[in-house]
Amino acid sequence: MKIEFRNVSKTFYGEDSELETLNNINIQIKEGEFVSIIGPSGCGKSTLLHLMTEIVDSFEGDILIEGISLKQSDKLVSYMHQKDLLMPWRTIKDNVTLPLILSGKKKKDAYKIVEPYYKMFGLDGFEEVYPNELSGGMRQRAALLRTFMVESDIMLFDEPFAAIDAINRHKLQQFLLERCQGFNRTIMFITHDIEEAIYLSDRIIVLSQRPATVIQDVKIELERPREKHMKLSVDFLKIKEMLIEALE
């Protein structure tokens, strides 16, 4: 297994409060799988990723990456937030190369590595520009490119397109699918958009209200490559209906 959550529970302790957030989560994800996670807002989806990235570092149970417990593993995972989190003080070029710089690469080498990707991500000509001069869609593509620059085959997305309007969101979904093809990346993708989840995923995991438990684990048998018209197919709508019911 590429990623494995074993009996993972998490409670946040406040000054005089306890917030039981995750309750005995068990998830297994195979190499190269694209798994979406959906669930009511506030149920603990983001927390799941925070545990994996060690942003939050105490929990019960165990998370294994390639069979090694998270605490022992020094494996880097790539993580993208709903907000683009581009640093206003860095040019696009310096933003997207940040993961390379932090992993110890020289600036010059980092620039060279990222060079071929600007075109692919629709950013060529904007390398020297500051993020606040770009549109929301472009910023999100830059954030996506930065996410791809992390030297890791595991990618975590936390509602990456939630703040983007419907038209651009579809473009970005398509874009992500194309970028992922042939890269053999293992992906955990959080969304509250059921259609998005079905469209992108090999598998969808449905979480309950907080404290979250896994209530459904649905394999999506739609063929790949995915195309826009599939969103209107009977199979697609059946899955959608089932998921809507599960969430209620």
Partner 1 sequence: MKKSTSTVKLKEKILPGLFITLLILFTELVIQIADIKAYILPKPSRVIGRLIEDRDVLWGHTVTTIQEALLGFVIAIVLAVIISVIMNRYKLLKLIFYPVLVISQTVPIIALAPLFLVWFGFGILTKVVVVVIVCFFPIVVSLVEGLAVVDQDMINLMKSLKAKPLDVFLKVQVPAVMPAFFSGLKIAVTYSIMGAVIAEWLGAQSGLGIYMTRAMNSFKADALFADIVIVVVVSVSLFRIIDFAGKKLMPWHKGE
Ligand X SMILES: Nc1ncnc2c1ncn2[C@@H]1O[C@H](COP(=O)(O)OP(=O)(O)O)[C@@H](O)[C@H]1O
Residues in contact with ligand X by CB under 6 A are 12, 19, 21, 39, 41-47, 56, 210
Task: Confirm or reject binding of residue 163 to partner 1 (CB under 8 A).
Answer: no
Q: Give me the residue whose beta carbon is nearest to ligand X.
A: 46
Which is closer to partner 1, CB of 123 or CB of 156? Answer: 156
Instruction: Please give the structure tokens belonging to residue 91.
Output: 């040019």
Instruction: Please give the structure tokens belonging to residue 193.
Output: 């958009």
97 CA to centre of own chain:
19
Q: What whole-number distance in Å separates Cα of residue 32 and Cα of residue 40?
A: 26
Q: What angle do CA 61, 44, 88 make, to 5 degrees?
A: 115
DSSP state of 39: -
> Binding Mg ion by CB under 5 A: which of 21, 36, 46, 201?
46
Q: Which does 99 bind (CB under 5 to 8 A by kind): Mg ion, partner 1, ligand X, none?
A: partner 1
> Binding partner 1 by CB under 8 A: which of 2, 45, 50, 93?
50
Please, where are the H alpha helices in the chain? 45-52, 92-96, 98-102, 107-114, 117-120, 136-148, 166-180, 194-200, 234-247
User: Cβ of residue 204: shortest distance to partner 1, in angstroms?
Assistant: 24
Instruction: Please give the structure tokens belonging to residue 202.
Output: 């090999």
Site for partner 1 in 72-131 (CB under 8 A): 74, 76-79, 81, 83, 85, 87-90, 98-99, 102-103, 130
Span from 3-11, 44-52, 65-73, 120-128 in contact with Mg ion (CB under 5 A): 44-52
Total residue count of the chain as it appears in this document? 248
User: Cβ of residue 73: shortest distance to partner 1, in angstroms?
Assistant: 11
Q: What whole-number distance in Å separates Cα of residue 165 and Cα of residue 8?
A: 34
For residue 40, which phi and psi values (nearest 5 degrees)?
Answer: -60, 155
Contact residues: partner 1, CB under 8 A: 50, 53-55, 74, 76-79, 81, 83, 85, 87-90, 98-99, 102-103, 130, 132, 150
